Structure 1
Amino acid sequence: MERKKKGHIFKQDRARIFKDERSDVYREKKKYKEPTKCPTCGASFIEGRWRWEEVSEQAYKELCPACRRIRDHYPAGTVEISGSFFEEHRKEIMHMIKNLERTESQEHPLERIMEIDTDNGSTLISTTGIHLPRRIGDALNQAYRGELEISYDAETYIRVSWNR
């Protein structure tokens, strides 16, 4: 049996590296021209990111990824809330969720609630980003405990379920 020398550096076998080709269809491969303003929500693309800043009238016009998701009814995440506790405290919990969305959206314009559907005692919240559902689930669990389940589909979709 041959012994390997100490300090020998092995090169990484590049054939074994897996490149995941899945990507978010709403994440642009190209950069937007600057400044670009979304005609629907008013967010501006400045210095490589979307912000809530005013730009000149001569700015390029293009829908931001969040407005495109809303137009296409294609959420990046969902939060399902159910249970008797939720039914009893619906107004309070929904107020907390709206405040979370307002706070998150002020810093990150692409993180917004698309729609809220109520059906048979459960509520489904669709969002334009993957970070807002996680924040909502964590906030519900921290404030009220309960059963929290979070699942990701690659890096493009998140499902959050909270029940109590």
Structure 2
Amino acid sequence: MKRQKNRFFKQERTRIYDDNRIDPYREQMKYKEPARCTGCSALFINGRWSWEDTNEAASEALCPACRRIEDHYPAGIVEVGGSFFEDHRFEIMHMVQNIARVESEEHPLERIMNVEDNEESTVVNTTGMHLARRIGHALEQAYDGELDISYDAENYVRVSWSR
């Protein structure tokens, strides 16, 4: 039998697709590389933000996470509540801080903006959707409870966990 050769087709690159997502913090143009954030000292190099250091002279910019913090406009909201949470508040909030630290080490744009304590719950505002979702899944995995994740827009998520 004859074996057929693998055939690779060239992808047509003449079509350009419009990105219809509306995100005020998504840059339309790239930063001049390397660029150092004036707020958190993250470095934009090789097309992404990182915690790297460079000996090159870097231009100044403000990263999307610092702009969100400055504007008080979170990308993710995590609401944690319930009687179990009241009994284990210190332990749960320590876990939330650890998750944020680990996530931020690899992804500088994923950070906790602030933590607000209400009478019946605690609200954690994040600069990224992924961190909020990851916190919710970690709480559900560790403590069971009820997890509700709702995407209000393409760039905003609300996570609610209670037990």
- TM interval, short-chain normalised: 0.7 to 0.9
CA distance in 1, matches of 2:77, 2:55: 35
Alpha-carbon distance in 2 for matches of 1:57, 1:47: 13
The 5-angstrom pairing of residues 1-164 of structure 1 reads 21-56=20-55, 58-164=57-163
The alignment partner of 1:115 has SS state of strand
Runs of 5+ unmatched residues, structure 1 = 1-18
> Unaligned 5+ residue runs, structure 2?
1-17
Tell me the distance in 1 between the aligned counterparts of 2:19 and 2:47.
24
SS at match of 1:123: strand
How far off its partner does 1:58 sit? 2.1
After TM superposition, the score normalised by the length of structure 1 is: 0.86
Percent identity over paired residues: 64
Give the aligned partner of residue 13 of structure 1. none
Q: CA deviation at 1:21?
A: 2.8
**Deviations 1:47-91 (CA, angstroms, capped at 9, x unpaired):** 000000112362000000000000000000100000000000000
**TM-score scaled by length of structure 2:** 0.86
Structure 1 residue identity aligned to 2:158: R
Q: Shift of the alpha carbon at 1:116?
A: 0.2
1:153 CA displacement: 2.1
Aligned amino acid, residue 129 of structure 1: G
Asked if the contact 1:80/1:122 (under 8 Å) is kept, the reply is yes
Letter in 2 for 1:109: P
Per-residue CA deviation, residues 115-158 of structure 1 (Å, 9 max, x unaligned), is: 00001120000000000000000000000000100001232000
Q: Which residue matches 1:9?
A: none
